[in-house]
Copies of this chain bind each other. A is one copy, B any other.
Amino acid sequence: MKINVEKCAQILKEKDNILILTHAHPDGDTVGSGFALCLALKKLGKKARVICADEFMDKYTRLIDGCLDMPEFEEQFIVSVDVATENLLGSLADKYSGKIDMCIDHHGTNTDFAKYLLLNADAAAACEIVLKVIKTMGVKIDKPIANALFIGITTDTGCFRYASTTSNTYRAAAELIDLGADNGTINRVMFETKTKTYAALERLALERMEFFDKERICIITITQDMYAETGSSEQETDAIAPLTRQTEGVEIGLTIREKTDGTCKCSVRTLDSVNAAEFAGAFGGGGHKQAAACRFDCGVEEAKKMLVAKASEMLK
């Protein structure tokens, strides 16, 4: 059942022992949404906990005071945040598929898998929606909550850069700064600071960048060998995908990342001329108009062939 912000806030206020699910390979928006909601529910005297199939990265959690202080309890209500389809829960999907009570999301491709769905595809980040829910629940937003929400908004918009960013996004950011969000520090940590290992990986990736179809398609491939060579890891690769779309003339940017089991996944970035969600959808994935992702059961070379063929077809 589709619900609005008021209904969502009302339902959450009536519940307790709330388990919050984030998507696998967690990004700033799912982490920020999850912890902001969790901290807000705890301020209402409720028990709440955030879980994920993968580990939460320290660069997010250390900016949200007290977020990892989570009680154990038997869940009575399950909420997913920034999760478009149940399979994006990763290894949590087995246990929780079909059991999710509420979904708060901003992906137009959301499959409506929960009992209650609060969806706003115009929001640049799920955190924009969670901000409204928290305010509607009457919770006073403090610095940790403001930081969590700011992290989600800034990371999902590439630091307010992407076309998905609206005046509401900027207004939400202003509000969060006034409520204590450390925008300077957060943006520096998320966007300005490269670890030495990541800097090495990025240089290698740029050196091996490939162009196809009159340089309208750009592909970066990250292999396990490259992690070994640079000391980097998949956890550090979020900043790679936007690089594929940066060279003048490129309309489709693809980042193929090899997994430890030899299969791979692909991040898709596009200009206005190509719908990234539609592109990724052709391979069973999904996402937004200009940023999407999909997975492959095959190796990187085979995936690359299929991706280039599909990209060329879409550019015709």
Contact = CB atoms under 8 A, between A and B. Distances in A.
Interface string A246-261: 1111000000000000
B246 A199 contact: yes
Contacts of A199: 246-247
Contact of A193 (B171, B191, B196, B248): B248
Contact of A162 (B175, B184, B194, B249): B184
A161 B187 contact: yes
A17 to B, nearest CB: 36
Nearest to A249: B196
A160 interface: yes
Interface in A148-203: 159-168, 170-171, 173-175, 177-178, 183-185, 187-188, 191-196, 199, 203
A36 to B, nearest CB: 18
A159 B162 contact: no
Contact of A177 (B170, B191, B246): B170
A240 to B, nearest CB: 14
Contacts of A187: 160-163, 165
Contacts of A168: 174
B161 A192 contact: yes
Contacts of A177: 166-167, 170
Given A167-B177, A174-B171, A192 B159 contact: no
In the complex, which of the residues A164, A165, A167, A199 has the most CB atoms of chain B within 10 Å of its own CB atom?
A167
Given A199-B247, A246-B199, A165 B184 contact: yes
A211 to B, nearest CB: 10
A206 interface: yes
Nearest to A199: B247
A175 B171 CA distance: 9
A174 B163 contact: no
A164 B175 CA distance: 16
B174 A167 contact: yes
A93 to B, nearest CB: 34
A61 to B, nearest CB: 18
The 5 lowest CB-CB distance pairs between A and B, nearest first, are A163-B184, A170-B174, A167-B177, A167-B174, A160-B160
15 contacts: A159-B159, A159-B161, A160-B170, A163-B184, A163-B185, A163-B188, A164-B184, A166-B177, A188-B271, A192-B242, A193-B246, A194-B247, A196-B247, A196-B248, A199-B247
Interface of A: 159-168, 170-171, 173-175, 177-178, 183-185, 187-188, 191-196, 199, 203, 206-207, 242, 245-249, 271
